[in-house]
Amino acid sequence: MQAPQFKDFAKEMVDYIANYLENIRDRRVLPEVQPGYLKPLIPAEAPEKPESWEAVMADIERVIMPGVTHWHSPKFHAYFPTANSYPAIVADMLSGAIACIGFTWIASPACTELEVEMLNWLGKMLGLPEEFLASSGGEAGGVIQGTASEATLVALLGAKAKAIKRAQEDHPEWDETTIISKLVGYTSNQSHSSVERAGLLGGVKLRSLKADSNLQLRGETLEAAIKEDLAEGLIPFYAVCTLGTTNTCAFDRLDELGPVGNKYNVWIHVDAAYAGSAFVCPEYRHLMKGIETADSFNFNPHKWMLVNFDCSAMWLKEPYWIVNAFNVDPLYLKHDMQGSAPDYRHWQIPLGRRFRALKLWFVLRLYGVENIQAHIRRHCAFAKQFEALCVADSRFEIFTTVQMGLVCFKLKGSNDLSEALLKKINGRGKIHMVPSKVNDVYFLRMAVCSRFTEAEDIDYSWKEVSAAADELLAEKSKRNVPDGTAMCATVLLTHPISLYLC
């Protein structure tokens, strides 16, 4: 493909994208296809000869769109939002054209340096304490990871390296295998499954601690667990504090966990994947009280801050524990210009990295802080709007306090009833939600996801929930319960979603 064809093709794609997004509300949010739908639509082998770009363009509606779940429709309320914005799309175009691999400073200085500065911008926007920021002039700093699950793993590996070092100093007679077998980390039973997975991947024990009745992990629970483990000769080393859980958007008590972590030399990692974006609004910062006691903090601009996936922002007070844990040839570091020029390949699991800071730069400049705040506040208000509609209907009840852009609700009555309601909602195909289950209570999650959402969309979604309930309860009253033959997609979707976060 030569430049003139590229220009035609790319500009046609620009128009297609604008048209797709501006009219996304008109598409069925959840596809009706069955597994295997795509295979018969394309040849079994790649073509020998090149095809025209017009042929490819035509196949988007024929092959791809029938199988797309439209995450950016105002009718999409599943999982948590994933970001999408025009500035981010254009920035990614530039990133694709420069197409550098920023594993070291010299491999493309702009790629590393813009990332350092954007993490400073972002950290200041959120009100992170100075001691997390490279702009403080110390060792600390931020980095863009691919996903929150990688950030959790990276922090765990840093904490592990730090704990091993300390144990070796205290007990020179212990070998590394012995030390690792004694390490124990902590998380809440409400935290995301990726935390448990980080423990598996990192080869260390992670204890799941019980959250309180508000689904928040408390300091006294952590301290009791640490004391138990110390008494058994174990080495507590790492705890994950979730600000905004996947199930219900509950906030662990960082103000209690942090001091406990500091007291016992336990690395506190804050996972604020979804809710962290809200800290751009000062009125939500009380939810991260105690942040100065944490060792690492992570949130996903690619969730709720209009920066397309992947862009997971992470700050570390002591990044050298990560750098040393990942560095397979420490001699190399001696030639480094740490501080002014971090070698980000040592800060992450993969070695290669795209020029992702461009997305942050474009989005922050083209929205401005005030419009990002407005975006967050609008979503929170939409959740309140939905909550009010739900509360006004005596058939329904709210499950846990509404936080941020998430409403957890259920039909009064058995789990089966709410599960049947969800099947009906997804089966009707007009809106899309997924459920969760906490303390054996099954509930539906209405997440405000789209940047196109208006108050009318929330009304629409509520009417759809209500209509599905009408239908279900009418059927129930005739003792004609749905028989579970809904399409496989909706069957799948009745399982709780705790795995689905990124």
Q: Which is nearer to its own copies, 401 or 439 (CB)?
A: 439
Considering only residues 203 through 232, tell me which ones interact with its own copies, judged by CB under 8 A. 203
Q: Examine residue 491 and tell whether it contacts its own copies (CB under 8 A).
A: yes
Query: What's the closest the beta carbon of residue 396 comes to its own copies, in angstroms?
Result: 25
On whether the CB atoms of residues 425 and 465 are closer than 8 A, the answer is yes
Q: Which one of 332, 414, 474, 481 is in contact with its own copies (CB under 8 A)?
A: 332
Considering only residues 362 through 381, tell me which ones interact with its own copies, judged by CB under 8 A. 362, 364-371
Considering only residues 307 through 326, tell me which ones interact with its own copies, judged by CB under 8 A. 308-310, 325-326
Q: Which one of 168, 189, 193, 265 is in contact with its own copies (CB under 8 A)?
A: 193
User: Tokens in use for 408?
Assistant: 């957890």
Q: Which is nearer to its own copies, 135 or 189 (CB)?
A: 135
Q: Examine residue 10 and tell whether it contacts its own copies (CB under 8 A).
A: yes
The number of C-alpha atoms within 13 Å of 161 and in the hemisphere containing its C-beta is 15
CA-based nearest residue to 124, from 417, 466, 464, 364: 364
Query: What's the closest the beta carbon of residue 57 comes to its own copies, in angstroms?
Result: 9
**Per-residue contact flags (x/-) with its own copies for residues 135 to 174, judged by CB under 8 A:** x----------xx-xx--x---x-----------------
Burial 24-46 (b: 16+ CB within 10 A, else e): bbeeebbbeeeeeeeeeeeeeee
User: Tokens in use for 331?
Assistant: 């001699």
Q: Which one of 105, 132, 186, 304 is in contact with its own copies (CB under 8 A)?
A: 105
User: What's the rounded Cα separation, in Å, for the pair 221 and 229?
Assistant: 13
Q: Which one of 74, 141, 142, 202 is in contact with its own copies (CB under 8 A)?
A: 202
Longest dimension (CA), the chain: 77
Q: Examine residue 190 and tell whether it contacts its own copies (CB under 8 A).
A: no
Q: Give every strand in the sheet of 141-145, ordered side by side.
A: 141-145, 312-316, 296-299, 267-271, 235-242, 183-188, 205-209
Residue range at the interface with its own copies (CB under 8 A); choices 46-54, 165-173, 397-405, 454-462: 46-54
Residue range at the interface with its own copies (CB under 8 A); choices 118-126, 237-245, 417-425, 472-480: 118-126
Q: Which is nearer to its own copies, 361 or 396 (CB)?
A: 361
Q: How many CB atoms lie within 10 A of CB 170?
A: 10
Q: Examine residue 405 and tell whether it contacts its own copies (CB under 8 A).
A: no
Q: Examine residue 392 and tell whether it contacts its own copies (CB under 8 A).
A: no
Looking up tokens 């303390």, which residue turns up?
A: 439
**Which residue type sits at 173?**
E
Considering only residues 14 through 33, tell me which ones interact with its own copies, judged by CB under 8 A. 14-18, 20-22, 30-31, 33
End-to-end CA distance of the chain: 35
Q: For the residues of 411-437, what is the DSSP string, one character each?
A: ESS-HHHHHHHHHHHHHHTSSB-EEEE
Query: What's the closest the beta carbon of residue 370 comes to its own copies, in angstroms?
Result: 5
Q: Which is nearer to its own copies, 337 or 481 (CB)?
A: 337
Q: Which one of 26, 44, 173, 392 is in contact with its own copies (CB under 8 A)?
A: 44
Considering only residues 335 through 364, tell me which ones interact with its own copies, judged by CB under 8 A. 335, 337, 340-341, 345, 349-354, 358, 361-362, 364
Q: Which is nearer to its own copies, 153 or 407 (CB)?
A: 153
User: What's the rounded Cα separation, in Å, for the pair 264 and 248?
Assistant: 29
Q: Which one of 143, 163, 180, 268 is in contact with its own copies (CB under 8 A)?
A: 180
Q: Which one of 121, 251, 284, 344 is in contact with its own copies (CB under 8 A)?
A: 121
**Which residue type sits at 257?**
L
Q: What is the DSSP letter of 41?
A: G
Q: What is the DSSP letter of 241?
A: E
**Which residue type sits at 20?**
Y
Query: What's the closest the beta carbon of residue 478 comes to its own copies, in angstroms?
Result: 29
Q: Which is nearer to its own copies, 293 or 490 (CB)?
A: 490
User: What's the rounded Cα separation, in Å, for the pair 339 and 375?
Assistant: 34
On whether the CB atoms of residues 156 and 185 are closer than 8 A, the answer is yes
Q: Which one of 200, 230, 388, 481 is in contact with its own copies (CB under 8 A)?
A: 200
User: What's the rounded Cα separation, in Å, for the pair 82 and 56?
Assistant: 26
What residues are paired with 442 via a beta bridge? 437
